Copies of this chain bind each other. A is one copy, B any other.
Amino acid sequence: MEVLAALNLGDLAATFSKMGMFPVFDVAYYIVSILYLKYEPGAVEVSRRSPVASWVCAMLYCFGSYILADIMLGVSPLDYFQHNSHILLASAVWYLVFFCPLNLFYRCVAFLPVKLVLVALKEVVRCRKIAAGVHHAHHAYHHGFFIMVIVGYVKGSGVALISNFEQLLRGVWRPETNEILNMSFPTKASLYGAILFTLQEAHYLPVSKGLLIVLFTLFMATSKVALTARHSHASPFALVESWVCHLLFGSALGGGEEEHHGAASSPAKAKEELTEGTRKRKAKKAE
């Protein structure tokens, strides 16, 4: 990555960071998000029993980041729903993933090579969202660094942060865990990304925003594709975090913030540890 930064990629980065996300990248985002919804235990039955509840969940998966960021900034949580074409597109994806005859659409997009491409495209959108969230918050609160980090964070994490309430909508309640208590890799990366973009916005980081977007996108896309390919939930930050947490917060080494290692015996955790492969198989059976 140092090599990329060393080359004068300024123009390319600026072009990339201004590229439109609609519709190709956004569709990939919707597909992967709703795929993860379908993996959730019970989601398929809910879609049969109450299509409205399933649709609302799908919208939370696709637009949760906008809803949360709007709430955080005191704007109408439905603000993004004025973009009818985005909502219709996401609804179409939801319909195809859940109700396509012979489950054809699901089989296509859940086919690993296709899915890896979609996952990479989704991470492109995520990075852009974080940058946009930080920028938006910077516009509203010029020196509100904490606000910038928080808004960037919720823009990157989206529905994960309100997963307890999203599950409640489907009649599932698991109070013993939540995304802040047990951060997954994308949530953590969103937090670190939001901090980086805030530092950049505050001119403490001597890189252009375009370049930062390119570098962060590359990191996210490669990490997430590698994790998805290996059906793994491990975090590339584990080692560094383990040491930092040990130094700062006196956490036990090798455990620390990485609850995947430390608390694997709890039933809640064990359920989380199912690899994506298992969850996919379960979702298929439920069909």
Q: Which residues of A contact B (CB under 8 A)?
A: 46-53, 56, 70-79, 81-82, 84, 87, 98-99, 140-141, 143-147, 150-151, 164, 168-173, 175-178, 180-183, 191, 245, 248-252, 256-257, 259, 262-263
Q: Which of A49, A56, A72, A168 counts the most chain B CB atoms within 10 A?
A: A49
Whether B70 contacts A74 by the Cβ 8 Å rule is yes
User: Cβ of A175 and Cβ of B178 under 8 Å apart?
Assistant: no
Given A46-B181, A169-B181, A250-B48, A78-B147 contact (CB < 8 Å) = yes
Cβ contact within 8 Å between B249 and A150: no
Stoichiometry (number of copies)? 3
Q: CB-CB < 8 A to A263: which residues of B? A: 49
Contact residue among B56, B172, B257 (Cβ-Cβ distance under 8 Å from A175): B172
Question: Are the CB atoms of B48 and A81 closer together than 8 Å?
Answer: no
Q: Are A81 and B150 in contact (CB under 8 A)?
A: yes
List 17 interface pairs A-B (beta carbons < 8 Å), by A numbering.
A47-B249, A49-B181, A49-B251, A49-B256, A49-B262, A51-B248, A52-B191, A53-B180, A78-B141, A78-B146, A82-B143, A84-B143, A84-B145, A98-B249, A164-B168, A168-B178, A171-B178
Within the complex, the shortest CB–CB distance from A201 to chain B, in Å, comes to 14
Question: Is the CB–CB distance between B181 and A87 below 8 Å?
Answer: no
Q: Chain B's nearest CB lies how many Å from the CB of A101?
A: 9
Given A82-B147, A144-B84, is A52 in contact with B169 using a C-beta cutoff of 8 Å?
Answer: no
15 new A-B contacts at CB < 8 Å, known A71-B77, A76-B147: A48-B251, A50-B259, A52-B191, A72-B76, A72-B77, A73-B76, A78-B146, A84-B143, A99-B248, A99-B250, A168-B178, A169-B180, A170-B181, A171-B176, A172-B175
